[in-house]
Amino acid sequence: MGIKSKRVAFTFDELSLRTLEEVQDEGHFGERPVVFSPHLPPLRALPEVSSPLLELMDRLDAQGWQYKLTSALVNGERCYFARVWRADALGCGRKVRAQTRHEALARAWEAAQAVRRTRERNAKARAARGARDD
């Protein structure tokens, strides 16, 4: 059984094409990136890319943080939304909106750390009040 191939053409609007070109430029791809599904193996290996965004994602993973990064068109402009959390009792930060993926993820991480500090401080204060009441 041989490999079947089919040529497929895509039509992009101007904003989508510009976004695709940004991904290509940021990733230093020699050609358009290969789109793949998690259900199918990629046709070729994607090149190793070192970028501030990937470094931040690696840092978050190494420190046990989980995150969600999404994008949407808002008034014709691409906006990125991020949320960072740890799966424990202190939970997560708030959803953050920014103009770049890196900025959204970095600001969401800062927000999550601030929320956790506040929750830790409040938990200690409640524990201290409870100890005094006993």
Task: Show me where the domains of the chain are located.
Answer: 11-49, 51-134
Q: State residue 33's pLDDT score.
A: 47
* Single pTM value for the model: 0.59
- Average of per-residue pLDDT across 34-52: 56
Q: State residue 59's pLDDT score.
A: 92
Pair 35, 16: CB distance under 8 Å: no
Using 50, 70 and 90 to split pLDDT, how confident is the model at 2?
Answer: low
Closest-CA residue to 107 (of 99, 17, 9): 99
CATH code linked to domain 51-134: 3.30.160
Please compute Rg for the chain using Cα positions: 21
- Average of per-residue pLDDT across 52-58: 89
Q: State residue 134's pLDDT score.
A: 60
Using 50, 70 and 90 to split pLDDT, how confident is the model at 72?
Answer: very high
Biggest distance spanned by C-alpha atoms of the chain: 77
